[in-house]
Structure 1
Amino acid sequence: MLSGGAVETRWIGPPPDRASTLVFLHEGLGAIGMWRDFPDRLAARTGMGALVYSRFGYGGSDACALPRPLGYMHDEAAGPLPELLDAFAVERAVLFGHSDGGSIALIHAGDRPHPSLRALALEAAHVFVEDVSVASIAAAKEAYESADLRARLARHHGDNVDCAFRGWNDAWLDPAFRAWNLEAFLPAIRVPALVIQGRDDEYGTARQVDAIAAGMGGRAETLMLDACGHSPHRDQPDRVIAAVAGFLERHAIGG
């Protein structure tokens, strides 16, 4: 239970006083179940614990108010995320963020990072809005309203399905969101980061990776994956697990 309500959580592996903790931040339509077994596999490979949670308005967590503010990722980075780290007494955290979750991780690391923060592992994170992003998000709206996307998402979000989809989709398609930009947060990030993206990502281009790597105050490593779309942990799980494990070993972060 956080100050804003109840959030759905799952803990994997050793407790935070025995190992570092992977904290999984899901995408704009994600939830605990949509990670499948990836957190279990990465935790087992690294010997780390893992904290997986659904943000407010997603999965089995309490609902959120709509419309979401255009700064909803900033709000998550400054409020529920550090509060959750405190609630679970996380001592050494590695934020593993996918898409919106990656952007939340960058904001958190570049603004008021939790004392436990040690590293970032990012998949398909955005720091600005591209035409390809807007086009794909508009296509998702069409699929939600006239195809089977709502039914498929409802399997993971239940009564939160409209909150999850509209909160994300309406914000990104708001014309004012075109000015959204996180590059000012990057120079203040001092922890190492691994930045991963698929070459076939339908929501963003390699410009996102280049901007993050160039702007980071700390060391950034990049990995572009062939035959891979917006979700590297689903399209290329073995490559992602090996890359993250190697990155953490190089920085002496692990179980």
Structure 2
Amino acid sequence: MSALQSSGHLTIGSSQIEYRMVGPAPDVAPTLVLLHEGLGSAGLWGDFPDKLAAATGTGVFAYSRSGYGASTPATLPRSIDYMHREALDVLPQVLDAVGFRRGLLIGHSDGASIAAIYAGGVQDHRIRGLCLIAPHFVVEDISVASIAKIKIDYEQGDLKQRLARWHSDVDNAFYGWNNAWLDPAFRAWDISESLAYVRVPIAIVQGADDHYGTLRQIAIAEEECYCPVDAEIIPGAGHSPQREAPEVTLKVVSDFVNRILRVHGEGELGRAA
């Protein structure tokens, strides 16, 4: 493949996928792949990728899934298993398209769930570890209640206007995610079984004031995983610690990345294999 530019689009199936690449290329250093939340995009990570690259010496690759950012809109309604499809059908193609050789998956919310499904369903030796920010492994009452509330904010408040900055088709982004989570059938969604098949270390970062999930998610990971699980609860942060407590979150994530890559003799500010 041709060298990755700092930003652009990848052709994945019939979709054009927006991406942003920071730091060294995948053939030079390990790569951290960022998987955004249910209303996120490559751009909504802000300067977190840049700071993460600086703190670890790795490349950082962020992309917008179909329906988000400047990527091709998704076909709606999304199926209940949309995160499995993203993890098992789309993500492998993205990793191959960028020439991913080794590194970690770093996911937020839906993106964290997608990372866990991938690591549990695909025994990919290139993946050294997972960092899961506000992950969902099961559906909780608090999740559904908050997602129902945000629909009101979107339709009656200014949320749509604020999200339109990040998505070329904001209705496609919002309703693709919101309608799937509010479908009564989604209450049975449960990916905890995937955790038993993860064979790399996991770090979980959870805001103490997260209104979309509780510490039950961490307990499930600790119960189901056979791999090491480190959990960090960040006081004063809600569902997006990387935006609400950026310095603390950056340190937790970069320390984990550096520790994992050091075991493999990689990373650590350019000391790549």
Offset of residue 250 of structure 1: 2.4
TM-score by length of 2: 0.91
Offset of residue 213 of structure 1: 2.2
Offset of residue 246 of structure 1: 1.7
Offset of residue 115 of structure 1: 3.7
Q: What whole-Å deviation, never above 9, does each CA across 1:98-145 have from its counterpart, x for those lacking one?
A: 000000000000011434211101100000011110010000100111
> Is the contact made by 2:142 and 2:213 (CA closer than 8 Å) also made in structure 1?
yes
> Is the contact made by 1:10 and 1:51 (CA closer than 8 Å) also made in structure 2?
yes
Match of 1:108 among 104, 111, 118: 118
Unaligned runs of 5+ in 1: none
Residue in structure 1 matched with residue 8 of structure 2 by the alignment: none
2:194 aligned with 1:185:
yes
Residue in structure 1 matched with residue 44 of structure 2 by the alignment: 34
CA distance in 2 between counterparts of 1:240 and 1:43 reads 14
- Secondary structure, counterpart of 1:188 in structure 2: coil
* Corresponding letter in the other structure for 2:235: D
* Corresponding letter in the other structure for 1:224: I
Q: What whole-Å deviation, never above 9, does each CA across 1:169-212 have from its counterpart, x for those lacking one?
A: 00100111000001110110001110010010010000001111
Aligned residue pairs: how many? 254
Match of 1:197 among 192, 206, 211: 206
* Corresponding letter in the other structure for 1:168: W
- Secondary structure, counterpart of 2:12 in structure 1: coil
Offset of residue 18 of structure 1: 1.3
Residue in structure 1 matched with residue 55 of structure 2 by the alignment: 45
> Is the contact made by 1:22 and 1:96 (CA closer than 8 Å) also made in structure 2?
yes
2:89 aligned with 1:82:
no
CA distance in 2 between counterparts of 1:70 and 1:4 reads 21
> Is the contact made by 1:82 and 1:114 (CA closer than 8 Å) also made in structure 2?
no
2:72 aligned with 1:58:
no
Q: Which runs of 4+ in 1 moved over 6 A?
A: none
CA distance in 1 between counterparts of 2:223 and 2:27 reads 34
> Is the contact made by 1:119 and 1:193 (CA closer than 8 Å) also made in structure 2?
yes
Match of 1:154 among 164, 183, 189: 164
Offset of residue 248 of structure 1: 2.2
CA distance in 2 between counterparts of 1:16 and 1:241 reads 21
- Secondary structure, counterpart of 2:203 in structure 1: strand
Q: What pairs up with 1:1-255 in 2 under 5 angstroms?
A: 1-158=11-168, 160-251=169-260, 252=262, 254=267, 255=270
CA distance in 2 between counterparts of 1:198 and 1:165 reads 23
- Secondary structure, counterpart of 2:193 in structure 1: helix
CA distance in 1 between counterparts of 2:123 and 2:204 reads 18
CA distance in 2 between counterparts of 1:4 and 1:71 reads 19
- Secondary structure, counterpart of 2:17 in structure 1: coil
TM-score by length of 1: 0.97
Q: Percent identity?
A: 50
CA distance in 2 between counterparts of 1:245 and 1:2 reads 29
> Is the contact made by 2:104 and 2:257 (CA closer than 8 Å) also made in structure 1?
no
RMSD of Structure 2 on Structure 1 (CA): 1.0
